Amino acid sequence: MIRFLPHVALSVRAHDREGMRRTDADWLAERWADDSTLVLVLVGTRLRPVDGAVHWVSPAEAPKGRRVLLGHAECVTRFAVIAQPGDVDGERDEWVALRALFPALLAGDESLVGDVPWLFHAVGLAEWHWVTRFCPRCGGELESSHAGHQLDCIECGKPQFPRTDPAVIMAVTKGEPGSDDERILLGRQVSWPEGRFSTLAGFCEPGETLEDAVRREVLEETGVLVGEVTYFGNQPWPLPASLMVGFTARALTEDIEVDGTEMAEARWVSRADLRGDTADRIAVSSGISISASLMETWLGSPLTGGW
């Protein structure tokens, strides 16, 4: 059986987003009226799981709100409705952020894994609608169009499109590749508890290549110089609006000097450390992130005991 890396498993069931149908009012009305159509209800950027699972309703059961076309898969069309708190059922604490579903994903809930591409699409758009209230050019009111994938200013007419911020995430290594002496560079953010580590990451700046962003972020956060940078893969991460672009990289220097602002601690970690075979055991992210994929690929086996 082929085992997908964590970040690949979440996108392997990508849906048809029906980009060419977003301005077809008759088709949208027809699909909304179809009994097989499913709707995900969001309040702001939050959803309401039922028995730990994603709750889809029929169009007839959906509250009023901003309607967003997600697309179709397996002959079923799906929408999201972004509603106001007063227009939905349930107590306030029943509506949770997407991260609240991550423990079930880590536990291998197959039904939930299949919903992830839909959730990432819906929540990403909901986040964008939530923060994009007025036209950034003139401050005018925005009106939703293209089935929720475009916002048009009613004053100056300038369209706004969903924003995705590119971020780099990297497995930086030193030593002979594949040898017992090889090490991977992991860091602990200032907000994390002692012992929790992950691969380094950061946002790409204007006018910067992704490869140079890798080198700059590693240098700024740890003082380590990076040479060769190789593309690994990518993962949408709408929390709130990122595309994580993964790389492997080779270090030119070893000495570490953390910035003290973003990074509290960084260290070179062996495969034995990462497997938990030594006294220097650390906790690393596992399960669904491209960070886990980077570390598992370098380790040569699945991560265990992560957070």
Over range 144-171, report the average pLDDT. Answer: 97
SS3 73: strand
* Residues counted in the chain: 307
Q: What number of other Cβ atoms are within 10 A of residue 4's Cβ?
A: 12
HSE of 211, CA atoms in CB hemisphere, 13 A? 7
Closest among 154, 118, 116 to 134, alpha carbons compared: 154
Supply the pLDDT for residue 286.
Answer: 61
Pairing label, strands 46-47, 38-43: antiparallel
**Dihedral in degrees, nearest 10, Cα atoms 278, 189, 204, 208:** -80
In this prediction, residue 93 has a pLDDT band, given cuts at 50, 70 and 90, of: confident
* Most confident among 6-20, 201-215, 274-288 (mean pLDDT): 201-215
Supply the pLDDT for residue 2.
Answer: 35
Q: 189-214: b or e for each residue (b if 16 or more CB lie within 10 Å)?
A: beebeeebbbbbbbebeeeeebbebb
- Which domains does the chain possess? 6-131 (no CATH), 165-299 (3.90.79.10)
Over range 93-114, report the average pLDDT. Answer: 77
230 Cβ partners below 8 Å, 6+ apart? 247, 248, 249
Over range 104-124, report the average pLDDT. Answer: 79
Over range 119-131, report the average pLDDT. Answer: 95
What span, in angstroms and rounded, lies between the C-alpha atoms of 79 and 144? Answer: 15
Q: Look up the pTM and report it.
A: 0.89
Over range 235-240, report the average pLDDT. Answer: 89
Over range 195-205, report the average pLDDT. Answer: 95
Q: Is the pLDDT of residue 135 over 50?
A: yes
Q: What is the largest CA-CA distance in the chain?
A: 64
CA angle at residue 263 from 260 to 266, to 5 degrees?
Answer: 110
Over range 141-166, report the average pLDDT. Answer: 97
Lowest-confidence region among 26-30, 256-260, 287-291: 287-291
Q: Is the pLDDT of residue 70 over 90?
A: yes
SS3 60: helix
Q: Taken in order 272, 274, 276, 281, is the CA torsion positive or negative? A: positive
Query: What are the backbone angles phi and psi of residue 195, rounded to the nearest 5°?
Result: 90, -5
Percent of the chain having pLDDT more than 70?
Answer: 92
- CA 240 vs. chain centroid, Å, equals 8
What are the structure tokens assigned to 48, written together? 């309401």
Q: Is the pLDDT of residue 148 over 70?
A: yes
Supply the pLDDT for residue 92.
Answer: 85
Over range 134-151, report the average pLDDT. Answer: 97
CA angle at residue 75 from 18 to 144, to 5 degrees?
Answer: 30
